[in-house]
Amino acid sequence: MEDKYKEIPHKTIERLSQYRRALQIYSEKGKNHIFSHEIAALLHITAVQVRRDLMLIGYSGSLRKGYDISDLIMLIGNIIDSPNGQKVAVFGMGDLGTALINYFRGRRDKLQITAGFDISPEKGGHKIAGIYCYSVERAAEIIGKEDIRIGILTVPPDQADDTVRIMVDSGIKGILNYTPAPVEVPDDVYLEEYNMISSIEKVAYYVKEQK
Amino acid sequence: MEDKYKEIPHKTIERLSQYRRALQIYSEKGKNHIFSHEIAALLHITAVQVRRDLMLIGYSGSLRKGYDISDLIMLIGNIIDSPNGQKVAVFGMGDLGTALINYFRGRRDKLQITAGFDISPEKGGHKIAGIYCYSVERAAEIIGKEDIRIGILTVPPDQADDTVRIMVDSGIKGILNYTPAPVEVPDDVYLEEYNMISSIEKVAYYVKEQK
DNA sequence: TTTGCACTGTTAAATGAATAACAAAATGGA
DNA sequence: TCCATTTTGTTATTCATTTAACAGTGCAAA
Ligand SMILES: NC(=O)c1ccc[n+]([C@@H]2O[C@H](COP(=O)([O-])OP(=O)(O)OC[C@H]3O[C@@H](n4cnc5c(N)ncnc54)[C@H](O)[C@@H]3O)[C@@H](O)[C@H]2O)c1
Ligand SMILES: NC(=O)c1ccc[n+]([C@@H]2O[C@H](COP(=O)([O-])OP(=O)(O)OC[C@H]3O[C@@H](n4cnc5c(N)ncnc54)[C@H](O)[C@@H]3O)[C@@H](O)[C@H]2O)c1
């Protein structure tokens, strides 16, 4: 059963998350069912791709009505969520960290930002955007106590290396790095990096080429 | 010449942008040359991948010293930048929009955020984070006048559709959508979407699977 | 009832991307 | 001088992902 899910391609995992998001928005319009080509249109991919992905997770739609939206949302949840939820910590409670916390709030129930860490004394000890902000010195303590495994890195670039070390030593097993600095992690820590400059440079490149 | 570049794979374009960023950080340490395996280590990929990418853009390194960093930065610039630069507008000057502008400032010279648009009256008419903020009604006028082709979308999700329409009608040819709402664009507009929830769900999934 | 239609689910083929393999070149030391 | 070492540039191969093809199915309309 678990082994079956191991075979799900990385790209499919990414899309499943996107399907769910799109389905949630769609279901708020009062719809109960959706066809593969409708999902495809929302995400700008092909209907075949959608059906193939859903095949991989073993979900069958109704032939005439398409897919049951709430069933599908639930099934995607079974695959990508942890049954008991996972906790997330933010390192660096500046502009971006705060924006992310606000954005995140209320969107996912199995994934919760439960702690923030910052080096600045005036941020420590009280809540920012509803999240308690601790001094980084207490990282190991809090992360251990709360069993946090996932960390978001939004410190200044020159602090990235040191902060990652603290995160890893504290028990973090997955890091989402928003810093432009390349960082190092041990093999057993999953690292995902995002850089806005690369995204916009890609847009710029294809705009340029298109002319 | 231009046709040659057409063949560069999407993934390579993405990596070129990342190479440049890493190289810039690296060169600040006083280094002039770098080996493929050093670049690879920074980005957590293989040295072969790096060499293959550089082969595609026709850059040759020195056999014993590796690649000349400033030459390589320049060559990557020749490929992904526009010679005369490109201007970028931000739609939605809220928390995220402001954070992005601050982050962007001074990082790229061929790519400049030159205008912001917002619906809120108290934001219009003055500068936010150093960028002049206009009312959205003036989008077509300003974008036409300044010849802006690239737009970043950071309005609230329920405003995404309408705002994209305004952007497209104003002449925007490439959109980076930070909104969780799926949006529609004509064929001749390049659309790149980013959603932080998907990124973190991916991290969460692989953290879960790893245990 | 039967035919046509619009879907799904699945296998097969094609495309795209990453990796492996290796020849060629430069350097330093034996 | 020549050999061992190191690294590049490139072709060949493998692997991953997407797309195509198509059979099967339920429904609606004739
Ligand atoms: N990926 C993107 O698209 C993107 C966009 C904007 C910013 N960024 C990056 O995100 C990071 C944060 O950006 P920001 O605009 O929020 O900056 P910011 O200066 O507003 O916030 C940084 C925060 O980190 C705290 N901090 C500093 N050193 C620390 C340490 N050692 N440990 C813990 N906390 C520490 C500071 O007190 C501050 O609160 C920067 O690295 C920036 O380059 C990335
Ligand atoms: N992709 C991500 O990782 C990520 C992270 C955080 C937020 N977000 C999304 O980015 C968007 C902005 O987030 P935020 O935290 O900055 O929100 P925010 O409320 O701080 O900012 C929104 C801004 O848009 C302006 N606005 C509203 N309607 C507008 C319209 N029709 N035209 C122009 N401007 C308009 C508002 O006046 C406000 O200034 C939201 O959609 C949010 O969900 C995405």
Amino acid code (one letter) for B25: I
Residues A139, A38 within the same domain: no
Contact across the interface for A207 and B104, Cβ inside 8 Å? no
Report residue A127: phi and psi, to 5°.
Answer: -90, 140
Task: Kindly report each contact of residues A72-76 with a partner whose C-beta sits within 8 Å and lies 24 or more positions away, as own/partner.
Answer: A72/A19, A72/A23, A72/A34, A73/A20, A73/A23, A73/A24, A73/A27, A76/A16, A76/A17, A76/A19, A76/A20, A76/A23
Instruction: Tell me, rounded to whole angstroms, the distance of Cα B108 from its chain centroid.
Output: 10
Least confident of B97-106, B119-128, B200-209: B119-128
Write the CA distances from A147 to A87, A139, A173, B95, integer angstroms: 7, 11, 11, 30
Clarify whether residues A121 and A163 are in a common domain: yes
Based on the domain organization, do B44 and B20 belong to the same domain? yes
A34: its two tokens: 């959706």
Does residue B14 belong to the interface with chain A, where contact is any CB pair within 8 Å? yes
User: Which of A39, A59, A80 finishes a domain?
Assistant: A80
How many angstroms separate the CA of A206 from the C1' of C26? 39
Q: Are residues A122 and A62 in the same domain?
A: no
Q: Which of B80, B108, B125 is the last residue of a domain?
A: B80
A98 ligand 1 Cβ < 6 A? no
DSSP assigned state of A147: T
B119 and B19 inside one domain: no
The pLDDT score that the predictor gives to residue B121 is 82
CA distance B159 to B165: 10
Q: Which residues contact B207 (CB under 8 A, 6 or more apart)?
A: A86, A149, A150, A173, A174, A190
Which ligand 1 atom sits nearest the alpha carbon of residue A92? 24
Q: Is the CB of B163 under 6 A from ligand 2?
A: yes
The verdict on A184 and A114 lying in the same domain is: yes
pTM assigned to the model: 0.94
Local confidence pLDDT in tens for the 211 residues of chain A: 334 444 899 999 999 999 999 999 999 988 999 999 999 999 999 999 999 999 999 999 988 899 999 999 999 999 999 999 999 999 999 999 999 999 999 899 999 999 999 999 888 788 999 999 999 999 999 999 999 999 999 999 999 999 999 999 999 999 999 999 999 999 999 999 999 999 999 999 999 988 6
**Residue A71 phi, psi (nearest 5):** -60, -45
Same domain for B9 and B25, yes or no, is yes
Contacts of B195 by beta carbon, 8 Å cutoff, 6+ apart:
A18, A21, B178, B180
A210 within a domain of the structure (yes/no): no
Q: What is the CATH number of the domain that holds B67?
A: 1.10.10.10
Sheet holding B190-193, edge to edge: B127-128, B131-135, B111-118, B86-91, B150-153, B174-177, B190-193
Q: Is the CB of A156 under 6 A from ligand 1?
A: yes
For residue B143, being part of any structural domain is answered with: yes
CA distance A56 to A54: 5
- For residues B16 and B76, the answer to whether their CB atoms sit within 8 Å is yes
Q: Give me the domain span that covers residue B15.
A: 3-80
Q: Is residue B110 part of a domain?
A: yes
Whether B128 and B44 share a structural domain: no
Look at residue A129 and tell me if it is in a domain. Answer: yes
Residue A37 sits in the same domain as residue A92: no
> Is A46 a domain residue?
yes
Residue at A203 is within a domain: no
The mean pLDDT value for B101-119 works out to 95
Q: Same domain, yes or no, for A168 and A92?
A: yes
State how far the Cα of A156 lies from the Cα of A153, in Å rounded to an integer.
Answer: 9
- Å between A66 CA and D20 C1'? 21
How many angstroms from the chain centroid is the CA of residue A20?
12
Are the C-beta atoms of residues B86 and A208 closer than 8 Å to each other?
yes
| A:125-184 residues touching chain B, CB 8 A cutoff | 149-150, 152, 157, 173-176, 180-182
- Sort out which chain A residues have CB atoms less than 8 A from B197's CB and list them: 17, 21, 104, 107-108
Residue ending a domain, among A80, A95, A130, is A80
The answer to whether position A209 is within a domain reads: no
Instruction: Domain count for chain B, please give it.
Output: 2
In this predicted structure, the answer to whether residue B134 has a pLDDT above a threshold of 80 is yes
Query: Which helix (H) or strand (E) is B17 found in, with range?
Result: helix B10-27
Q: Tell me, yes or no, whether A211 lies in a domain.
A: no
Torsion angle of the four alpha carbons A101, A107, A110, A112, in this order, in degrees rounded to the nearest 10:
10
**Whether residues A94 and A187 fall in one domain:** yes
Question: Are residue B183 and residue B90 in the same domain, yes or no?
Answer: yes
